[in-house]
A and B are shown apart, each in its own frame.
Chain A
Amino acid sequence: DGGITQSPKYLFRKEGQNVTLSCEQNLNHDAMYWYRQDPGQGLRLIYYSQIVNDFQKGDIAEGYSVSREKKESFPLTVTSAQKNPTAFYLCASSATSGDYNEQFFGPGTRLTVL
């Protein structure tokens, strides 16, 4: 089955530690995205990538880093510089060839920094 996987579903880390969230897709999509969701707020874009080896900052990129070495994978690192890392993180992907490319979302990772 095609889809997006994120692991782990729940992640706990101590303050000051970097942590990497995994996102893999087998939909053959060129574009991938990372969003952050906080209670009572809409999803906010952290980083996105339209093609392998290229990525762009979203609206709230500070304290985060990404890589896109493979089409299928777009890992997100939450660094110690991120002031409020506890949140729900969602990865998504989409094609780029059409006019209205639907985004498909992964199940999310809930990160809690203690």
Chain B
Amino acid sequence: KNEVEQSPQNLTAQEGEFITINCSYSVGISALHWLQQHPGGGIVSLFMLSSGKKKHGRLIATINIQEKHSSLHITASHPRDSAVYICAVRSGRDAGGTSYGKLTFGQGTILTVHP
């Protein structure tokens, strides 16, 4: 079983629909990231959160540390939201005590929004 599991793996929606992508993890973490990867391959960081909820435009990310679960929501989805959405967790500090940023990634959710 992977340390970070995303669901669904593929998601198709019609423009305007509310979308939810889920991420569950099995390790203790210090932070969780949501990333967006467009067809060209470049990756953009959407959110980094360690508790609660963050909102940026039509995107909302929530995390429940006790349940080891995070969700990414997209309201009023648009075809330009079509991309791969990746959940990644930072599993704390290294032996030296520094948070150098080692991330463990989910396999990604492929989102396609049709007009």
| Given known A-B contacts A42-B2, A42-B86, A96-B101, A104 and B107 have beta carbons under 8 A apart | no
Q: Which of B14-22, B42-50, B64-72, B74-82 contacts A (4 or more CB under 8 A)?
A: B42-50
Interface size counted on chain A using CB atoms at 8 A: 28
Q: Which of A19-27, A62-70, A72-80, A106-114 contacts B (4 or more CB under 8 A)?
A: A106-114
**Across the interface, do B86 and A108 meet the contact criterion of CB distance under 8 Å?**
no
Task: Tell me, yes or no, whether B102 is within 8 Å of chain A by CB.
Answer: yes
**Across the interface, do B41 and A103 meet the contact criterion of CB distance under 8 Å?**
no
**Across the interface, do A96 and B100 meet the contact criterion of CB distance under 8 Å?**
yes
Smallest distance from the beta carbon of A59 to chain B beta carbons, Å? 9
**Across the interface, do B41 and A110 meet the contact criterion of CB distance under 8 Å?**
yes
| Given known A-B contacts A42-B108, A43-B105, A102 and B100 have beta carbons under 8 A apart | no
Closest residue to A101 on the B side, CB-wise? B101
Which residue from A45, A88, A98, A106 sits with its C-beta under 8 Å from B102?
A: A45
Bound CA–CA A50/B107 (angstroms):
25
Task: Tell me, yes or no, whether B30 is within 8 Å of chain A by CB.
Answer: yes
Smallest distance from the beta carbon of B53 to chain A beta carbons, Å? 16
Smallest distance from the beta carbon of B114 to chain A beta carbons, Å? 23
Residues in A neighbouring B30, C-beta threshold 8 A: 99-100
Task: Tell me, yes or no, whether B103 is within 8 Å of chain A by CB.
Answer: yes
**Across the interface, do A50 and B100 meet the contact criterion of CB distance under 8 Å?**
yes
Task: Tell me, yes or no, whether A105 is within 8 Å of chain B by CB.
Answer: yes
Closest residue to A44 on the B side, CB-wise? B105
Bound CA–CA A110/B107 (angstroms):
18
Within 9-62 of A, Cβ neighbours of B (below 8 Å) are at 31, 33, 35, 40-45, 48, 50, 58
Chain B residues with CB under 8 Å of chain A are: 2, 4, 30-31, 33, 35, 40-45, 48, 50, 86, 88, 90, 98-108
